[in-house]
Structure 1
Amino acid sequence: MKNVVITNPEELLSLEGKTLGTTPWLTMTQQRINLFAEATNDHQWIHVDPEKAAAGPFGACIAHGYLTLSLASDFLDQLIGIENLAMGVNYGCNKIRFPAPVPVGSQIRGKGDVISVEKIGDSLQACIRVTIEIEGSERPGCVVDTISRYSFN
């Protein structure tokens, strides 16, 4: 289920400066971290060695920053649904930060804020800030300004 569903360019333009709400919580599991390590060949002990990580600076394994970032795509899809599209593409990101580590077992969710929406030719370009919150933490695990381009039918 999407937090916000739009069906035309005018509705997307009207979202500039608005908050899209939050997604349901997701548990950061060791299995997810290990699968990401396999996919990226990043087997650093702070991510994949629970015994060594328990004695390390974070007291447990933590998610890769780029794993946390990659979940922004899933969270964005939950935050906004865009219907009547000919095509939508990820165009890039502006600013990405990892303010806090995401420990294994923690609950995370995405919060969306529409920073800007502008016309680019026949398409619209939306910059949506996805803040990946960690339950019980004052600082988020990731803040990313995503850029997407949408062409409507």
Structure 2
Amino acid sequence: MIKTFTVLLAYQCLGELIAYAGNLPIPGAVIGMILLLASLSLRPGLASAIESDALALLRFLPLLFVPAGVGIMAFAGRVAHDLLPIAVSVVVCTALTIVVTALVGQGLCALWPARAASLAAPTTPFASPLHADGNTAPAAANIEKVDTP
């Protein structure tokens, strides 16, 4: 766990250093994540070395939302006063995010059609997390994909 945390912290510090030294408008944490993504893409061994500990760290991700929730409660009057602009901006930004994500996905599928075809047609059957009796089980029951006319 310490090794994984050190790797993640090193990339964040490197990103902060690049952002500060280059006087960039991009947050250092974003630059660090981009560098981490590049490293994980170029060195698959790094991904396997930190994967299990990184997944364990993800269990604590909800704790990062606590300060935002406390801030909303602390400024409840202000939020109530500006509720309409906040709601409109959330809905519009969510819709724009969905549209941009779809367009980027279509662009990538057009750029790499062979990869898109392999992702679109899975070679393994779909799996259900439920048994036929409705109970969850560690081993999922296989369900064959059926083409309907």
- Pairwise same-fold verdict (TM > 0.5): no
Higher relative contact order (CA closer than 8 Å, sequence separation 6+): 1
Q: Which is strand-richer, 1 or 2?
A: 1
Q: Which is helix-richer, 1 or 2?
A: 2
Q: TM-score of the superposition, structure 1-length normalised?
A: 0.22
Answer with 1 or 2: which has the greater Rg: 2
Q: TM-score of the superposition, structure 2-length normalised?
A: 0.22
